[in-house]
């Protein structure tokens, strides 16, 4: 007996139905925002991820040496591969590049709620546009998708943060880039750590002065509006140069927020510098979307996360191209839809079920079934002969709207009886008129003779 590997899923037809429901929403919204679809290989050179993803993802890679001696890895995310694709054609692509993809990713994580070893992600990214309008486009796509699933502003929040402000902040404490990234990684884990552990982690950078630093970090993390953020940042930036950079950056914030307000998605936003993002390549605005509990606090794993990464294409050896995007996972989203009762009942039924008498009638039904299928109808019938009673039972169980009944009387007249399986109403029509009448019958049904 074999079981699926831990963290992997079999998708039975009813699971595929739910997955397709999610995928079709994703795709429909990507299209409405005018994103084009692309795809990448499942297997990539290991180095693409060891060099370009964050430390956390690197420790979770499914990697091995292939028969040709190459070190390869299943993709844990799409972004480095996408950056390679865009970089390789950067001079010929029409900008801005707006691309989306839905694909399976693999991460060797400890299996728990919202965390599996294989998950699907909806990614949408924009390349070639450095200004906040591109960030706004990405953020409003994320919110539009989730709003359309039925989440209200009280259910979810997009927590919006900024790596640029964090680097100005860390610079004001004298950190250059590499050490700033290390400290940022500690700040990223703050929500899940005790104060003692945090101070211990910060010791190599501050000796005994970690408390002061932590107080400033907490001041920044507690701001929930732009005015507060401005006051906090200006009080923390020690030099005129840094203060000017803060002012310029807050101008970008104003532009971003006013665009999102005018797009009508402002109610879903929460300014929250507590979000840093684990991946190493982010450079500017970053965000994560969480479910909100009764106490107004974010809960569980993020439904989606993303942000700006202006140097990743350049890091792969191509000219630098500004970029911003997000990934939304099917696992956390699927759980949230179930918990909130937002997963609708999904029906997967044929349009037509054929019920036949003897062999001669069965062959006529086969002929009609194929003609109907060629015209786009979904048609089913039993694959072995049984009595009328059993066939009607199967027709009812199939969820089909109508049954086509082929009896010997109808065969002699060249007709077929159409039965509405919901009302029980019947109508006899010539076989040659099936294609003409069935669309209306399926849409409107057949009243019973008594009109019930």
Under DSSP, the state recorded for 115 is B
**CA gap 125, 27 in Å, rounded:** 14
Asked if residue 450 lies in contact with residue 424, where contact means CB atoms within 8 angstroms, the answer is no
In the list 284, 298, 327, 357, the residue contacting ligand HAM (rule: CB under 6 A) is 327
Please choose, out of 106-114, 224-232, 260-268, 414-422, the segment that lies near ligand HAM by the rule CB under 6 A.
106-114
In Å, how far are 117, 152, 427 from 208, measured between CA atoms?
A: 40, 45, 88
Residue count, binding to ligand HAM (CB under 6 A): 23
Which of 9/243 has CB closer to ligand HAM? 9
Angle at 168 between CA 167 and CA 174, to 5 degrees: 90
Please choose, out of 26-34, 304-312, 340-348, 405-413, the segment that lies near ligand HAM by the rule CB under 6 A.
304-312
Which of 213/282 has CB closer to ligand HAM? 282
Which of 286/446 has CB closer to ligand HAM? 286
Exposed, middle or buried, 160 (CB in 10 Å: 0-12/13-18/19+)?
buried
Which of 109/351 has CB closer to ligand HAM? 109
Please choose, out of 10-18, 241-249, 300-308, 413-421, the segment that lies near ligand HAM by the rule CB under 6 A.
300-308
From the list 284, 285, 320, the residue with the least C-alpha distance to 86 is 320
Under DSSP, the state recorded for 5 is P
Which of 312/416 has CB closer to ligand HAM? 312
Please choose, out of 166-174, 255-263, 301-309, 361-369, the segment that lies near ligand HAM by the rule CB under 6 A.
301-309
* Alpha-carbon dihedral angle through residues 99, 104, 107, 109, given to the nearest 10 degrees: 120
In the list 284, 306, 322, 334, the residue contacting ligand HAM (rule: CB under 6 A) is 306
From the list 158, 205, 161, the residue with the least C-alpha distance to 181 is 205
Q: Measured from the CB of residue 298, what is the shortest distance to ligand HAM in angstroms?
A: 12
Exposed, middle or buried, 370 (CB in 10 Å: 0-12/13-18/19+)?
exposed
Which residues on adjacent β-strands are paired with residue 106?
A: 118
Which of 7/350 has CB closer to ligand HAM? 7
Exposed, middle or buried, 118 (CB in 10 Å: 0-12/13-18/19+)?
middle
What residues between 107 and 126 interact with ligand HAM by CB under 6 A? 107, 109, 114-116, 119, 121, 123, 125
Please choose, out of 24-32, 328-336, 377-385, 399-407, the segment that lies near ligand HAM by the rule CB under 6 A.
328-336
In the list 132, 274, 298, 329, the residue contacting ligand HAM (rule: CB under 6 A) is 329
**CA gap 293, 302 in Å, rounded:** 13
Q: Measured from the CB of residue 139, what is the shortest distance to ligand HAM in angstroms?
A: 12
Helices 434-444 and 359-374: angle between axes, nearest 10 degrees: 80
Which of 120/173 has CB closer to ligand HAM? 120
Strands 379-380 and 97-106: unpaired
Query: What mask of x and - would describe binding to ligand HAM in positions 122 to 161, judged by CB under 6 A?
Result: -x-x------------------------------------
Query: What mask of x and - would describe binding to ligand HAM in positions 44 to 83, judged by CB under 6 A?
Result: ---------------------------------x-x----
Which of 324/402 has CB closer to ligand HAM? 324
Beta strands, E only, 66-167: 71-74, 97-106, 118-127, 156-162
> Rule CB under 6 A: is residue 332 a binding residue for ligand HAM?
yes
Which of 190/371 has CB closer to ligand HAM? 190
- Whether the CA torsion 187, 192, 198, 204 is positive or negative: it is negative
Which of 266/300 has CB closer to ligand HAM? 300
Which of 121/391 has CB closer to ligand HAM? 121
Please choose, out of 36-44, 152-160, 295-303, 384-392, the segment that lies near ligand HAM by the rule CB under 6 A.
295-303
**CA gap 414, 431 in Å, rounded:** 6
> Rule CB under 6 A: is residue 302 a binding residue for ligand HAM?
yes
End-to-end CA distance of the chain: 53
Residues in touch with ligand HAM (CB under 6 A): 77, 79, 107, 109, 114-116, 119, 121, 123, 125, 301-306, 325-327, 329, 331-332
């Amino acid at each position: 007996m074999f079981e699926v590997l831990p963290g992997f899923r079999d998708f039975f037809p009813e699971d595929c139905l739910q997955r397709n429901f999610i995928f079709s929403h994703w795709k429909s919204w990507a299209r409405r925002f005018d994103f084009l679809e692309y795809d990448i290989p499942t297997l990539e050179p290991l180095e693409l991820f060891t060099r370009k993803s964050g430390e956390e993802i690197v420790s979770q890679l499914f990697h091995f040496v292939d028969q040709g001696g190459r070190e390869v890895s299943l993709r844990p995310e799409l972004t480095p591969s996408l950056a390679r694709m865009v970089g390789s054609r950067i001079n010929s692509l029409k900008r801005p590049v707006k691309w989306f993809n839905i694909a399976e990713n693999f991460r060797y994580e400890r299996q728990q709620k919202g965390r599996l070893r294989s998950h699907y992600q909806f990614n949408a990214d924009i390349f070639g546009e450095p200004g906040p309008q591109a960030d706004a486009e990405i953020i409003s796509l994320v919110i539009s998708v989730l709003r359309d699933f039925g989440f209200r502003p009280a259910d979810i929040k997009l927590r919006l943060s900024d790596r640029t402000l964090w680097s100005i902040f860390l610079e004001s404490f004298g950190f250059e880039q590499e050490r700033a990234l290390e400290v940022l990684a500690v700040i990223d884990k703050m929500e899940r750590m005790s104060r003692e552990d945090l101070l211990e982690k910060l010791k190599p950078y501050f000796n005994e002065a970690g408390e002061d630093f932590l107080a400033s970090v907490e001041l920044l993390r507690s701001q929930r509006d732009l005015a507060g953020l401005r006051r906090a940042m200006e009080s923390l930036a020690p030099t005129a140069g840094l203060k000017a950079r803060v002012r310029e950056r807050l101008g970008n914030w104003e532009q971003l927020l006013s665009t999102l307000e005018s797009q009508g998605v402002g109610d879903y936003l929460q300014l929250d510098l507590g979000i840093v993002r684990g991946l190493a390549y982010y450079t500017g605005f970053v965000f994560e979307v969480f479910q909100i509990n009764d106490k107004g606090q974010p809960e569980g794993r993020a439904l989606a996360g993303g942000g700006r990464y202006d140097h990743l294409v350049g890091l792969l050896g191509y000219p630098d191209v500004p970029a911003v995007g997000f990934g939304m996972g099917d696992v956390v989203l699927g759980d949230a839809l179930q918990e909130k009762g937002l997963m609708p009942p999904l029906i997967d039924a044929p349009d037509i079920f054929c019920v036949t008498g003897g062999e001669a009638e069965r062959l006529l039904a086969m002929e009609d079934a194929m003609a109907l299928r060629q015209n786009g109808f979904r048609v089913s019938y039993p694959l072995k002969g049984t009595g009328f009673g059993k066939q009607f039972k199967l027709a009812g169980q199939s969820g089909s709207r109508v049954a086509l009944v082929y009896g010997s009387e109808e065969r002699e007249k060249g007709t077929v009886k159409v039965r509405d399986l919901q009302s029980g109403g019947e109508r006899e029509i010539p076989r040659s008129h099936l294609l003409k009448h069935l669309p209306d019958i399926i849409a409107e049904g057949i009243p019973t003779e008594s009109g019930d």
